[in-house]
Chains A and B, each alone.
Chain A
């Protein structure tokens, strides 16, 4: 379910970009990156490797 929600979030991020609001676009993009990296950490158990 988490992955499905991230795909929906990515769709929103990709198609909601507004040129008048570059900061908003970058914040959305940054959140998307954080979500993908977070899921990667979860599935790779990398959080264990760095002691979390």
Chain B
């Protein structure tokens, strides 16, 4: 198996990774809307960091769609951007976990599969860092051909991520209203209260 074919396999996996992170972001929305929970400022920051971590991979996908191949420097830069975004998210979610680590603290929001959403966020950021590290092991000097069979899937992944970013912008505007910043523990959609 050559480095190039491994990179092609990683490219397929990268689509899955972006899809998983997009799914996590939509899942946060489900909790917010279906279970009536209001995301706190740190939850919003974790969502932002997930998007930040996806800037590089989306750039990689879009470069592949545009050029049909990916240059080594694009490959390295994209994974580097993911590492920076994931590190920021890791710090934010670690702080969030530590805020609620004292015995007897019920945590913020309802747990999902036994863990609170910010703990899941911490695990997501750790997993992203691991994936980026592994992917950077296989940088080659040659361009990687972007698999043409992925084109439709690539576009769908990019559109889903774009939709969740815009949805977050709208939702957080509803939550903060015309205030500059969110309250520490939001309990309502301020925009509707101010009307």
List A residues at the B interface (Cβ < 8 Å): 1-8, 10-11, 13-15, 17, 19, 22, 25-26, 29, 32-33, 36-37, 39-40, 42-44
Contacts and interface: CB of A to CB of B under 8 A. Distances in A.
B165 A14 contact: yes
Contact of A11 (B41, B67, B91, B166): B166
A40 B73 CA distance: 31
A10 B179 CA distance: 20
Secondary structure of the A contact surface, majority rule: helix
14 contacts: A1-B177, A1-B180, A3-B176, A3-B182, A6-B48, A7-B166, A15-B58, A15-B158, A17-B58, A29-B56, A33-B52, A36-B48, A36-B49, A36-B52
B86 to A, nearest CB: 11
B166 to A, nearest CB: 6
Nearest to A44: B95
B54 to A, nearest CB: 7
A43 B45 contact: yes
B19 interface: no
Interface in B140-195: 158, 161-162, 165-166, 168-170, 172-173, 176-182, 184
Contact of A10 (B59, B73, B158, B165): B165
Contacts of B81: 29
B55 interface: yes
A18 B41 CA distance: 31
